[in-house]
Amino acid sequence: RPFDLSCEVPWRVELFALAEDEHVLSLTLHHIAGDGWSLAPLVRDLAAAYTARCAGAAPEWAALPVQYADYTLWQQQVLGSEDDPDSALARQLDFWRQTLTGLPEELALPADRPRPAVASHRGGTVEFAWDASLHAAVVALARKCRASVFMVVQAALAALLSRLGAGEDVPIGSPIAGRTDEALDDLVGFFVNTLVLRTDVSGDPTFQELVERVREADLAAYAHQDVPFERLVEELNPVRSMARHPLFQVMLAYQDSPDTRLELGGLRADVQPGVRNTAKFDLSVDLSAQRTEDGSPGVVEGVIEYSVDLFDPETAQALAGRLERLLAAVVADPDRAVGAVEILDEAERERVLSGWNDTAQEVPRATLPELLAAQVAATPQAVAVVFEDTEVTYAELDARANRLARLLIERGAGPERFVALALPRSVELVVAISAVVKTGAAYVPVDPEYPADRIAHIVEDARPALVVTVAEVAQSSPAEAIRGGFVLDAQENAELLAGYPAGELLDSERLRSLSPAHPAYVIYTSGSTGKPKGVAVPHAGIVNRLLWMQHRYHLKADDRVLQKTPSGFDVSVWEFFWPLIEGATLVVARPGGHRDPAYLARLIRDQRITTLHFVPPMLQAFLDDPSAADCRGSALRRVICSGEALPGELRQRFFAVLDAELHNLYGPTEASVDVTAWECMPEEDRRNVPIGRPVWNTRVYVLDAGLRPVPPGVSGELYLAGVQLARGYVNRPAMTAERFVACPFGPAGTRMYRTGDLARWGAEGELEYLGRADDQVKIRGFRIELGEIETVLAAHPDVAQVAVVAREDRPGVKQLVAYLVPRDGGAAGAD
């Protein structure tokens, strides 16, 4: 029930009889007439009145030295006019204008849900308590720093929020009593003001340094505490929003032993706070410190009031636990950098580092040609490839690939070498890819549709042993390297190839023995800046990825997989190889067909496609086309999405149109196509489809800028480790060292790939993708001298990569550890 302030007394009292001898007296006081500090005098006055009335007398309150009206007049006089530049008001406003310049508009908090456009102000609370010994330690540290206990707690809260992704500039709101004169102590009225305490957590300070900063900032703020907060908001005029509180979203209040004991003669009574189901802020941390009889620190009782729009109770509870843990750690060791304090509890740390990464799986040490050959031996007469009107059996495909492989070996193709393939989608493309991997060389796809300068760059950069193409491409290509390539369908070459034996190619025929550590393909990715760079992926990585995929989705002999992804994208790698190592059929879409929804729908039906891939925007375009619905009831079993975030609405649309499985896979080219997977469910209602859990022999880490794991629910940068990591970037040792860093969580020599993607763990160990980190996140204290790495590598031809990590072993002592990763997968050494 609101108060009508224009005509009602802002004060309502009701008595509820629960039993003859048990009552609740409900006092509702509008904030305009009283604040938290008013509670003590109010309760004292009430007790005096009750006692007097019980004795049949009117209460005799001691006269107050001043009235609230006196205070308001005094305040106006002291503050003066804004128009007067020498007034306190003008000076204080000036101070705040300077102090709050460039304040972040909104603090990034580890919320469970995105913020609604308009805050509902519904709130929940969780309670907690710190024991007397922690309280005593906080008091002792405060004394040592000549700071208040509040300042120490504020520093801890700011440090915690910063560690949970709030950045380094953390504004915290704080109520200040405003009773700057003793004469006001016994008044019931609104004196409280709200200060914005901007907390600078930058530069990875020690906790003691942080407390000192807080002290300086708070003392300055207290000296300018008289400008009412609402005037300040008007004056600073930050971007207004119905979604959040202006200037700060987190409140901290700390009260030392508030004395609100109620002494009602003859009654046992105590004061209960009202029901709290509202939230004025995103988070409000309310602490009240008790003292023991002898005045020493007792327990500290705490309440976190949280916005239900943003947080679940468990998250608020976890936050309380983290604040206590962090506070205990920093008061025990105030010289420690706040960035280095462990904010995970042991079980959590175990879960995010190991439990959710428990992906170890025995996988054969095989190469792609071994897997291909095994399938040819098993089902030689099955149809391997369909393209337009042509069908090719496993035996035919293998024979053609073996002939071409022998020719390519003669012309220099072999392990640690590259063969560029400038071919449109066709049977020839499948033959050529198989042939190259059979030689042990890595294939380098060059999409003939690429612009000429990109083609030229790839060919110049990769320096392939040779280029394979077809007449149609060679004749029209602006790139000289392509025009001079080996033309697969030229009459004389067809005759030449016919002369080579078609039987299985033996390892002894290769230029050197093929190992799973040798690259299987090199795919050029553009990256946001600079020229495309070639990612060299070894057999071990892609074989793990393919065998995991089979284990997860069970391709069978009657499955038909659509090949429509351009060969320059790594999704095409599983499209090509997965069916061919499992005895299924690869159906190749005609060139350009991947952009044509109606053609695709027809192909899916006519060719009884069971499995295909879409990037989300193309899935959207496909589902928007009326022909998509014709695929309902077709053989289509599973659609695999990857490459971009899959929106929840698109998932809903998918299940409305089609009756197939929908899977969301995530991964960069640098880690063998995909590293996490999630199966979508029609009844699921999450706004963002998770990217799921790691695949076999893959570990994923969500880390902060100090390479420390962040708690579940907190955004961090995603790092990947395990067998699927690429060898690195071709001819780019420095860039490789920058992105493939030493993994602090694995044995010496293990690397992790820094994706540049932001992600967070869900409560069940499912990952959510949150966008690109770009350059927001930089590894703290970590600068690689690129030139030095180039020098090291030039001097050590047996070293494949230098992986570097900065570690802080003792406060302020940063150590740069470089791991030398040898070629051919041997043990790495640290230096």
Neighbours of 143 (CB within 10 A): 12
CA–CA distance, 354 with 527 (Å, rounded to integer): 31
- Please report, for the chain, how many H helices and E strands are present, in that order: 23, 32
Minimum distance from residue 700 beta carbon to ligand AMP (Å):
12
Residue 645 or residue 817: which is nearer to ligand AMP going by CB?
Answer: 645
Count of residues of this chain found to bind ligand AMP when the rule CB under 6 A is applied: 17
Q: Looking at 46-54, 451-459, 499-507, 665-673, which segment touches ligand AMP (CB under 6 A)?
A: 665-673
712 lies in the site for ligand AMP, by CB under 6 A: no
672 lies in the site for ligand AMP, by CB under 6 A: no
CA–CA distance, 286 with 277 (Å, rounded to integer): 15
Minimum distance from residue 632 beta carbon to ligand AMP (Å):
24
Residue 501 or residue 771: which is nearer to ligand AMP going by CB?
Answer: 771
CB contact at 8 A, 444 and 421:
yes
422 lies in the site for ligand AMP, by CB under 6 A: no
Q: Looking at 320-328, 429-437, 439-447, 660-668, which segment touches ligand AMP (CB under 6 A)?
A: 660-668
- Environment class of 533 (CB within 10 Å of its CB; exposed 0-12, middle 13-18, buried 19+): buried
Beta strands in 283-423 (DSSP E): 283-291, 297-307, 383-387, 390-393, 418-422
CA–CA distance, 300 with 257 (Å, rounded to integer): 9
* 3-state DSSP assignment of residue 282: coil
Residue from 369, 534, 668, 728 in contact with ligand AMP (CB under 6 A): 668
CA–CA distance, 238 with 259 (Å, rounded to integer): 38
Q: Please report, to the nearest 10 degrees, the dihedral formed by the alpha carbons of residues 711, 715, 720, 726 taken in order.
A: -170
Whose tokens are 């007067």? That residue is: 84
- Show the binding pattern over residues 587-626: x = contacts ligand AMP (CB under 6 A), - = does not: ----------------------------------------
Q: Looking at 201-209, 265-273, 666-674, 823-831, which segment touches ligand AMP (CB under 6 A)?
A: 666-674
Q: Looking at 13-21, 275-283, 497-505, 637-645, which segment touches ligand AMP (CB under 6 A)?
A: 637-645
Q: Please report, to the nearest 10 degrees, the dihedral formed by the alpha carbons of residues 46, 51, 55, 60 taken in order.
A: -60
Minimum distance from residue 648 beta carbon to ligand AMP (Å):
12
396 lies in the site for ligand AMP, by CB under 6 A: no
* 3-state DSSP assignment of residue 386: strand
Q: 227-234: which pairs have CB atoms within 8 A and are 24 or more residues apart?
A: 227/79, 227/89, 227/92, 227/93, 227/96, 227/193, 228/193, 229/193, 229/194, 229/195, 229/196, 231/89, 231/93, 232/93, 232/96, 232/196
Residue 586 or residue 662: which is nearer to ligand AMP going by CB?
Answer: 662
130 lies in the site for ligand AMP, by CB under 6 A: no
Q: Looking at 147-155, 330-338, 460-468, 658-666, which segment touches ligand AMP (CB under 6 A)?
A: 658-666
Residue from 388, 644, 659, 824 in contact with ligand AMP (CB under 6 A): 644
Minimum distance from residue 668 beta carbon to ligand AMP (Å):
4
Cα-flanking dihedrals φ and ψ of residue 724, to 5°? -85, -5
753 lies in the site for ligand AMP, by CB under 6 A: no
Q: Looking at 454-462, 659-667, 808-816, 818-826, which segment touches ligand AMP (CB under 6 A)?
A: 659-667
Minimum distance from residue 743 beta carbon to ligand AMP (Å):
18
Name the DSSP class of 692.
B
- Within residues 765-794, the interface with ligand AMP by CB under 6 A covers 769, 772
Q: Looking at 323-331, 411-419, 663-671, 787-795, which segment touches ligand AMP (CB under 6 A)?
A: 663-671
Handedness of CA 563, 564, 569, 571 (dihedral sign): negative
642 lies in the site for ligand AMP, by CB under 6 A: yes
CA–CA distance, 174 with 99 (Å, rounded to integer): 16
- Within residues 508-547, the interface with ligand AMP by CB under 6 A covers 525
Q: Looking at 358-366, 559-567, 636-644, 708-716, which segment touches ligand AMP (CB under 6 A)?
A: 636-644
Residue from 96, 128, 578, 666 in contact with ligand AMP (CB under 6 A): 666
Beta strands in 135-294 (DSSP E): 169-176, 193-200, 250-256, 283-291
CB contact at 8 A, 281 and 121:
no
Give the footprint of ligand AMP on this chain (CB under 6 A): 525, 570, 642-646, 664-666, 668-669, 691, 755, 757, 769, 772
